[in-house]
């Protein structure tokens, strides 16, 4: 499933990948990726080695493609002055200097991004306070806890008037209160017109926060779209039903005669049915239930979650 434009087609493009590949020697970290991101909260998903970090570094302009083209804000190229202050990037890991204070670091980073000195300090101060670091403003970063240093990293990104925020595992090391506050900051940035890209290996977390999803596997774009589009893709790929009822054997015999069943098993009173055509199985199920007067207590679909989707899609690109 190739990505075209994520978010409203009426919105201006924030980030565009056009057939982008990135090689490191003989290894391809990203292969022929095309997508067009617009304002909204985008979840970037993929297992370790999928190409997420390479994608983020390309999106931040920190590296260049081996082939293809990356542009920003409806066609701006890398290093154009009009991109100053417009891209914020929070990398994974903890590489902050230890001797400088939180306020000094954030202020200097904002100044390097092109903000005037007074505005840089004001913005840094405001966001650090919001993220609960009032007592740590002047403390050397080496004296802060891991979670506090993570909040410093996030503060310098959210302090920018950025149109594109690239957040790699931003909720790492944060307790629930600060996770909620960072989620609120993401939403506020979206409401202000930004495209926020959230990369995480925690699928449930990304699903809960994101409107749009981008799935990478082994450097390839394997799926992209709205939550609804991804849900439909998952639904179409489901290949099994789990049915709980007191008479699983009666229902199993009826399904075998009416539906394209490829496998059946009964597990602890639950009937597990695999089908070559899940749609035909859905359509046959009500008549089968009526025919044997089964008292069905629960019906669940197997294979319609993101983990199952990754397994299925990864098999296709091996």
pLDDT at 315 over 70: no
- pLDDT for residue 309: 63
Cβ 90 vs Cβ 167: under 8 Å: yes
- pLDDT for residue 3: 43
- pLDDT for residue 161: 95
Rounded to a whole number of angstroms, the distance between the first and last alpha carbons of the chain is 16
| Adjacency order of strands within the sheet including 212-217 | 87-90, 164-168, 195-199, 40-45, 212-217, 220-226
Report all structural domains of the chain as residue ranges with CATH numbers, in order of start: 5-225 (3.40.50.300), 239-302 (3.30.70.100)
pLDDT at 209 over 50: yes
Mean pLDDT of 56-76: 96
Find tokens 């090391």 and name the residue. 173
pLDDT band at 9 (very low <50, low <70, confident <90, very high): low
pLDDT at 316 over 60: no
- Residue 25 burial (C-beta neighbours within 10 Å; 0-12, 13-18, 19+): exposed
pLDDT tens per residue across span 79-89: 899 999 999 99
pLDDT at 42 over 50: yes
- pLDDT for residue 317: 52
User: Six-digit token pair at 66?
Assistant: 């081996």
pLDDT at 164 over 70: yes
Mean pLDDT of 284-312: 79
pLDDT at 135 over 70: yes
Cβ 8 vs Cβ 38: under 8 Å: yes
pLDDT at 155 over 50: yes
Among candidates 145, 209, 220, 214, which has minimal Cα distance to 182?
209
CA distance 318 to 218: 8
**How far is CA 242 from each of CA 65, 78, 258, 259, 298, rounded to the nearest angstrom?**
46, 51, 17, 15, 8
CA distance 52 to 46: 7
pLDDT band at 47 (very low <50, low <70, confident <90, very high): confident
Q: Look over the chain and give the mean of its residue pLDDT values, rounded to a whole number.
A: 89
Angle at 247 between CA 245 and CA 250, to 5 degrees: 125
**Residue 223, beta-bridge partner list:** 215
Mean pLDDT of 37-59: 93
Give the CA radius of gyration of the chain.
24
pLDDT at 175 over 90: yes
CA distance 220 to 89: 22
Q: Is the pTM of this model over 0.85?
A: no
**How far is CA 217 from each of CA 153, 243, 274, rounded to the nearest angstrom?**
27, 32, 26
- pLDDT for residue 48: 82
pLDDT at 8 over 90: no
């Amino acid at each position: 499933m190739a990505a075209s434009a994520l978010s409203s087609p009426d919105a201006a493009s924030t980030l565009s990948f056009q057939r982008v590949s990135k090689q490191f020697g003989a290894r391809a970290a990203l292969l022929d990726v095309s997508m067009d991101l617009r304002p909204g909260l985008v979840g970037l998903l993929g297992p370790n080695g999928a190409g997420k970090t390479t994608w983020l570094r390309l999106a931040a302009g920190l590296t260049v493609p081996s082939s293809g083209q990356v542009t920003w804000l409806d066609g701006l190229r890398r290093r154009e002055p009009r991109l100053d202050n417009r891209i914020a990037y929070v990398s994974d890991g903890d590489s902050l200097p230890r001797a400088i204070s939180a306020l000094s670091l954030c202020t200097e980073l904002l100044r390097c991004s092109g903000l005037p000195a007074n505005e840089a300090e004001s913005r840094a101060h405001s966001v650090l306070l919001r993220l609960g670091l009032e007592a740590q403003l002047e403390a050397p970063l080496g004296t802060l806890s891991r979670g506090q240093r993570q909040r410093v990293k996030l503060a310098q990104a959210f302090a920018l008037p950025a149109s594109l925020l690239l957040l790699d595992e931003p909720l790492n090391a944060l307790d629930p209160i600060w996770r909620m506050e960072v989620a609120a900051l993401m939403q506020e940035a979206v409401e202000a017109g930004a495209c926020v890209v959230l990369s995480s290996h925690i699928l449930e977390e990304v699903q809960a926060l994101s409107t749009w999803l981008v799935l990478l596997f082994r450097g390839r774009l394997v799926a992209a779209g709205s939550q609804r589009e991804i849900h439909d893709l998952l639904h179409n790929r489901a290949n099994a039903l789990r049915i709980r009822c007191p008479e699983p054997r009666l229902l199993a015999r009826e399904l075998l005669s009416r539906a394209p069943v490829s496998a059946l098993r009964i597990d602890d009173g639950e009937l597990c049915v695999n089908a070559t055509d899940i749609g035909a199985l859905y359509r046959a199920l009500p008549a089968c239930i009526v025919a044997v007067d089964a008292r069905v207590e629960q019906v669940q679909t197997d294979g319609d979650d993101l983990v199952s989707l990754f397994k299925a899609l990864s098999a296709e690109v091996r």
